[in-house]
A = this chain, B = another copy of it.
Amino acid sequence: MKTNEKRSDCPISSSLDIFGDKWSLLIVRDLMLHKTRTYGDFTKAKEKIATNILANRLQVLEEQGIIIKLPYPDNKVKGLYKLSKKGVDLIPAVIEIALWGSSHLSDTDESSPFIEEVKKNKVKFLKKIMDKLMADDVA
């Protein structure tokens, strides 16, 4: 993976240079909805990411300062991944993608609890979830 090549100075293009793939934003999604996750938690997500891809995406997202890896309390094998401030700031984009999918794609999980809440009051939901994720010492 060549993560250091920018195709242009366009902020959209440069963003997609980092997370323009089918997996990166799903990692952000899982961290957004669960606050922290271990490596094993990610592998248990229903989309079934391959472990080599997961390891690569976690590394890229960490290099880019979007996620942070912390030690797991009282366990030297496990690690805890969480969103950084830069990662939390990606949530509005992820939410817009979720809203689009939920209103334009069939057979998507419309009844997902967070989608309903977002539709009811997007600003309130965003504030709530971003505040929660930023609550503890985020870099």
User: Is B47's CB under 8 angstroms from A101's CB?
Assistant: no
Closest to A105 in B: B14
Closest to A85 in B: B104
Chain B neighbourhood of A108, CB < 8 A: 9-11, 14
- In the docked arrangement, what's the CA distance between A89 and B102, Å? 12
Most buried by B among A6, A89, A101: A101
User: Is B46's CB under 8 angstroms from A8's CB?
Assistant: yes
Per-residue contact bits, chain A 107-126, to B (CB 8 Å; 1 contact, 0 not) = 11110100100000000000
User: Is B86's CB under 8 angstroms from A90's CB?
Assistant: no
Q: Does A94 contact B (CB under 8 A)?
A: yes
Most buried by B among A6, A9, A23, A86: A9
User: Is A9's CB under 8 angstroms from B100's CB?
Assistant: no
Interface residue from B10, B18, B98, B107 paired with A112 (Cβ < 8 Å): B10
Instruction: Rank and list the top 10 A-B pairs by shortest CB-CB distance, nearest first.
Output: A11-B101, A93-B96, A15-B101, A20-B22, A11-B108, A11-B102, A7-B47, A9-B109, A8-B46, A92-B96
Question: Which residues of A are in contact with B by a Cβ distance under 8 Å?
Answer: 6-18, 20-23, 25-26, 29, 46-48, 86, 89-90, 92-105, 107-110, 112, 115
Contacts A/B (CB < 8 Å), 8 sampled:
A7-B22, A11-B99, A12-B26, A13-B47, A14-B101, A20-B22, A92-B96, A92-B99
